[in-house]
Amino acid sequence: MFLNRVYHGITYLAVLIWEIIKATSDTAMRAVKGGDTIDPVVIDIKTDLTRPVSQALLANSITLTPGTLTIDIDSENQILKVAIIAPRSEEEVIPFEPYIKKMLE
C-alpha cells in the first residue's frame, strides 16, 4: 500500500513537471504573439478529491502551472475556481488529479 502511494507520488511529480514545461512554452508563445491569443477566463472545476489536503495540493499544482491560478477552493462542494489565460477544457487544466487521488485519497 505504502509503495503504491510512493509510486503514484513520483508519477505525480513527473506529470507536474511535464505540465509546467508545456504550460511555460504555451504561455511564452501567447505572450510573444499577443492580441487574440490571450483571452482570460475564470472557470469552476468540479473535482473528485474529497480530502482538503488533496484539494489544496491540486490547487497549488494548478497555480504552479504558468497561465493558471487557483482563486478559491470550496471544499464542501469540491469546486475549484480557476483563472486561466485562454479557454481550455477541465482535463487540460487538471491533468494530475488522478495521480493525487491515488496518492492521497
Count of domains observed in the chain: 1
Domain containing residue 34? 2-104
Per-residue confidence at 1, pLDDT binned at 50, 70, 90?
confident
DSSP strands (E only) in 1-105: 41-46, 68-74, 79-84
- Region 97-104: what's the mean pLDDT? 94
State pTM to two decimals: 0.91
Report pLDDT for 49.
95
Per-residue confidence at 37, pLDDT binned at 50, 70, 90?
confident
Task: List the grid coordinates of 70.
Answer: 487557483
Query: Which residue type sits at 57?
Result: L
- Cβ neighbors of 5 (< 8 A, separation 6 or more) are 102, 103, 104
- How many residues belong to the chain? 105
Q: What φ, ψ does residue 9 adopt, rounded to 5°? A: -65, -45
Report pLDDT for 57.
96
Per-residue confidence at 95, pLDDT binned at 50, 70, 90?
very high
Q: What is the mean pLDDT of the chain?
A: 93
Residue 94 and residue 74: Cα distance in Å, rounded?
16
